[in-house]
Amino acid sequence: MMKKHRIIPYIYLLPAIFFFLVFKYWPMVFGFFLSLSKWNFISSIQWVGIDNYIHMFSRSLFINAVSNTGKYTAILLPSYIIIPLLLALMILQVRNKTLASLYKPVIFLPTILSFAITCMVWMWVFNPSFGALNTVLSYFGIKPIYWLSDSKIALWSIILVSGWKTFGYNMILFIAGLSTISDELLEASIIDGANAWQTFWKIKWPMLGPTTFFILITSIIYATDKAFIPINVLTRGGPHDATTNLAHAIYVFGFEMFNSGIANAVSMFTFFIFLILTYVLMKIIGERIYYEV
Amino acid sequence: MKYKKYIFAVFRNLMLLLIGFIVVFPILIMISNSFKLPDDIFVKRINLIPAKVTVSNYVRAWVDYDVPTWFWNSIGTAVGITILQLIICILASYSVVFFEFKGRNIIFSFFVASMLVPFQVTMIPNYILVSKMGILNTWTAVILPNLANAFGIFILRQHFKSFPYSLYEAAIIEGCNSLEILWSIVIPICKAFIVALLILFFIDAWNLYFWPLLVMRTPESKTLSIGLQQFIDYELGHRWGNFMATATLACLPTMIIYIIMQKQIIATYAKSGLKG
């Protein structure tokens, strides 16, 4: 039996508790306070109540950021699941050992590289005059596409880069999920006469519940937060706010317009939406997930 | 029937080879362009092999720009974050798993709940905090806010839970104190996992972008991810050759680690998703 300890465990916890309090929880409280005040980072702070929350709705940057974040989520959510899952299923079927051990690390490679730096490399790939994409298209007689400066296309370019970065990681998660399914279960279903299609929907897909759920949550985080990197590197939110998302809007409000009030109001709004979405997902999907104990 | 299977296999492999090539293509372009002369870079042709190999891009970037400083800053911040994160996470998860005390579950939830707080919610207050502390443009500014790592505590706790408890009890009977047990029994036994986690932490720290962008504003304080942007800025004039060379250097540390320990790294990342 463990013996009860009085002080020692708390001493071990102290550094962690300190950093969580100072850099995670206190900033939240302080951010909420700032969202209720007017400040340009220099003058004295002025209390304005919920003004910022009302004013932000008349800012086109905020409105565009919300609608783009919605678009990113709507497009990324299904593609972050379907494509990596197909890749995982395909790779697990490869019989040739050398090839099988080649695909995984190659497709996973973008995960371990600096996203900011690889986005800058992508900027070259997207270059209208010398970039690889337009060069390949020109072989087919297609005119140059302005991947980053055409407001109808820029959002799709951001999504393309996002997929490039994330598919490999999600694929690894699916491979890990699929390999926890016991062979006996799969053999039993084959003996029962199930075809590959049935085996997938009746056994594999339900067993992948926790993985899928995790990917859904991280995709939402990606759309609101992490997409900041390709957006800031490739388009700076432009052209005409066509690619901006919530994280980028907060950055612009805070560090380019020096409007702490609106920036923090948008932060709080983002946090609130994120919590609601997570809660809804947990209610809809979480309860139906099959957890292996 | 057999024939059909064969065609499927060929088709599947062709598909995967193509996808694999598309995935590594930007990296290949980066490396190949870094060894090219300008008139070889600015051509409307896919040429992965340089017409004439040159290292002048590397030399010029290293000598004419702040690249060595950026490198040094990236190393300093990444190593600082990695080691401190590891110490803090190990101590916290050791405490949560091996001791029984009041508020244990509450404190653990206190850590895990912070995973629900997106980065951008805390970034402006943290920026103000860091600037009030007077440490803007220093390594400390990058390191400190990154030390609250809930994921690290979570995954270490999972791992420590499978630690053979009888070993721990035996050590207590031997009269070891808890720090001795952690240092000479728990850590050595979990070494492989801790090394894998260390690498994960390092990769994340090395690749940081958003936070250093906010707090490292002066030219001498920039890290590689931030500094590199100046090579491709419209206003400053593109320097694609120098950019490709520096970007290759910047990707080298994580790529080398990846090539050596590819299996362990992928396995650790796979575990990170099995939070359930």
pLDDT of the residue at A288: 64
Q: Quick one: closest CA in B to A12, which residue? A: B91
pLDDT digits (tens, 9 = 90+) for B63-76: 888 899 999 999 99
Residue at A139 is within a domain: yes
- Residues of A whose CB is below 8 A from B254: 112-114
Across the interface, whether the CB atoms of B101 and A9 are under 8 A apart is answered yes
Q: Which of B16, B45, B46, B120 to mutate to test the interface with A (most CBs of A within 10 A)?
A: B120
A3 located within any domain:
no
Domains of chain A: total: 1
Distance CA B119, CA A192 (A): 49
What is the percent of chain A where pLDDT is above 90?
47
- More confidently predicted of A230 and B276: A230
Q: What is the mean pLDDT of chain B?
A: 89
Residues A10-33 pLDDT 10s? 999 999 999 999 999 999 999 999
Provide, as residue numbers in chain B, all residues whose Cβ is less than 8 Å from the Cβ of A229: 209-210
CA-based radius of gyration for chain B: 24
Query: Could you tell me the sign of the dihedral formed by the alpha carbons of A250, B67, B145, B269, in that order?
Result: positive
Going from the C-alpha of B86 to that of each of B50, B93, B104, B148, B200, the distances in angstroms are 42, 10, 20, 11, 11
Q: What is the pLDDT of residue B237?
A: 63
In a domain, A284, yes or no: yes
Is A267's CB within 8 Å of B120's CB? yes
Question: Could you tell me if residue A163 is inside a domain?
Answer: yes
Of the partner residues B19, B119, B274, the one whose CB lies closest to the CB of residue A176: B274
pLDDT of residue A1: 41
Q: What is the pLDDT confidence band of residue B92, given thresholds at 50, 70 and 90?
A: very high
- What pLDDT, on a 0 to 100 scale, did the predictor assign at position B70? 94
| Structural domain boundaries, residue A187 | 52-288
- ∠ CA B140-B142-B145, nearest 5°, is 95
Average confidence (pLDDT) over A42-57: 86
- Tell me whether residue A234 is in a domain: yes
Residue B178, min C-alpha distance to chain A (Å): 8
Q: Does A276 fall in a domain?
A: yes
ipTM surpasses cut 0.85: yes
pLDDT of residue B276: 38
Phi, psi for residue B237 in degrees, rounded to 5: 85, 130
**What is the per-residue pLDDT for A293?**
35
The pLDDT, as a whole number, for residue A213 is 86
The region, left, alpha or beta by phi > 0 then psi within -120 to 50, assigned to residue B134 is: left
Please give the single-letter amino acid code of residue B169. Answer: E
Q: Give how far A109 is from chain B: nearest CA, Å.
A: 8
A107 in Cβ contact with A87 (< 8 Å)? yes
What's B249's DSSP letter?
H
pLDDT on residue A291: 53
What's the pLDDT score for residue B64? 86
Residue A246, domain member (yes or no): yes
CATH number at residue A171: 1.10.3720.10
Q: What does the pLDDT read at residue A267?
A: 94
- Quote the pLDDT of residue B210: 92
pLDDT of the residue at A23: 94
**CB contact (8 A) between residue B148 and residue A23:** yes
Q: State the smallest CA–CA distance between residue B64 and chain A in angstroms.
A: 20
Q: Domains along chain B?
A: 2-54 (no CATH), 65-272 (1.10.3720.10)
Do the beta carbons of residue A25 and residue B115 sit within 8 Å?
Answer: no
Is residue B230 within 8 Å of residue B160, measured between CB atoms?
no
DSSP state of B101: -
Joined together, the tokens standing for residue B16 give 């995967």
Task: Report CB contact under 8 Å: A31, B251.
Answer: no
Please give the backbone phi and psi of residue A46, each rounded to the nearest 5 degrees, phi first: -120, 130
Give the least confident one: A111-125, B140-154, B171-185, B225-239.
Answer: B225-239
Residue contacts between A and B (CB atoms, under 8 Å): 268
pLDDT at residue number A177: 87
DSSP 8-state symbol, B100: B
**CA–CA separation, A87 and B19 (whole Å):** 9
Rg, Å, chain A Cα set: 23
| pLDDT of res. A286 | 64
Contact criterion met (CB below 8 Å) for A176 and A92: no
Q: Does the structure show a pLDDT above 60 at B275?
A: no
B216: region left, alpha or beta (phi > 0 left; psi from -120 to 50 alpha):
beta
Q: B65 vs chain A: nearest CA distance in angstroms?
A: 17
